Structure 1
Amino acid sequence: MKILVVDDMPLMRHVLINMLRALNFPDLVEATDGVQALSFLKNQDFDLVITDLHMPKMDGKTLLNSIRDDQALKAIPVLMVTCEDNSAAIKEIIAAKVSGFIIKPFCLNTLDKQLKKIVSLSSA
């Protein structure tokens, strides 16, 4: 499974990548924002996108909408990671067809559960 990890904070990308490697997901690519992520998505094949919500240039919600609006990309599962606790903002993201949602801070077990849920849905 090839995963694109999108976050503007290098430390958060590093933590996520280490967690993913611990869960036996070694095929990982990093992007620093939604603009770079979209460029990667148009030029490489990915099985999953894990993105932060709040980023400069293009935030996670705009990235999610761009993926869902693109015929070639719309089937890719997107896992949103955020410290957002505003229920209206979370409802908007769910309405935009996000595949999963994790609130920061989170542990390895939480990430593992979300990944298993996404994998089982995408293989169904």
Structure 2
Amino acid sequence: MKILVVDDMPLIRHVLINMLRKLQFDDLVEATDGVQAFALLHQQHFDLLITDLYMPKMDGKVLLKRIRDDEKLASLPVLIVTCEDSCEAVKEIIAAKVSGFIIKPFNLKVLSDHLNLIIADANKK
């Protein structure tokens, strides 16, 4: 499974990538913002996108909308990771057809559980 990890903070990307490696995911690519991520999504095939919600240039919400509006990318599973826990923001993301949503901080089990749900859902399609 090839995963694109998007976060503007190098430390968060590093932690997330290390967690993914512990879960036996090794085909990982990094991006620093939504603009870079969207370009990578058109250059390479990815099985999953994990993105932060708040980033400069293009945030996770806009990135998700652009993915869902793009015929070639619309079915890509997207997991959003964020510190945002307001009910309204969560509702907006769910309405935008996100595949999963994790509130920071989280642990390896939470990440694993969400990935298992996303993979199971993708396998149904």
Q: In which range does the TM-score fall when normalised by the shorter chain?
A: over 0.9
Matches within 5 A, 1:93-108: 93-108=93-108
Q: CA deviation at 1:91?
A: 0.2
- Could you list the structure 1 runs, at least 4 aligned residues long, displaced by more than 6 angstroms after superposition: none
Quote the residue 2:63 is aligned against: 63
Matches within 5 A, 1:1-124: 1-124=1-124
In 2, Cα distance between the equivalents of 1:30 and 1:107? 20
Unaligned segments of structure 1, at least 5 residues: none
- TM norm structure 2: 0.99
- Aligned partner of residue 123 in structure 1, secondary structure: helix
Q: How high is the sequence identity, in percent, across the aligned residues?
A: 69
The superposition leaves residues 22-69 of structure 1 with CA deviations (integer Å, 9 ceiling, x where unpaired) of 000000000000000000000000000000000000000000000000
Q: CA deviation at 1:86?
A: 1.1
- TM norm structure 1: 1.00
In 2, Cα distance between the equivalents of 1:75 and 1:2? 15
Corresponding residue pairs, total? 124
